[in-house]
Amino acid sequence: MESPKPDRPVPKPLFSFRFRRNFLFVATLLTLVLVFLGAVPYHERLSESVARFTIFWAGVFVLATAVLALAIYDLARVRREHQRRVRELEKELAAAAADAREMMRRHREEETRNGLEERS
């Protein structure tokens, strides 16, 4: 049995603004919690073994790097989306300006015709 096809394509998670921001928030919060735990309550346990210390802080470093990379990616996506919207607005504005010029030209032509008719 086939699953029904959606009317519109389902966005991939990283392309979804809301998912990206929520994921970024949770990952940042998790990073902060891990840094606090590693610095205060788990400090003694981590200091007992070089392997534990290295593995824990390497994991925190990888998570922090992933958060920074996702933040940069999000910034780039937001900028790209903003530029696309600006281009669309510029096109709409150019079309509206062309319409306004055309309306003004027609209005002047009508005034000119009405002025000439009144003089006749």
**pLDDT score at 68:** 96
**pLDDT score at 5:** 59
**pLDDT score at 2:** 55
**pLDDT score at 89:** 96
User: Which parts of the chain sit beneath pLDDT 70?
Assistant: 1-11, 13-14, 119-120
Domain ranges of the chain: 13-89
**pLDDT score at 12:** 73
Which residues does 59 contact at the CB level (< 8 Å), separation at least 6?
34
Alpha-helical runs (H) found in 40-120: 43-48, 50-119
**pLDDT score at 17:** 84
Contact yes or no for 56/42 (Cβ under 8 A): yes
**pLDDT score at 62:** 97
Contact yes or no for 26/67 (Cβ under 8 A): no
**pLDDT score at 78:** 92
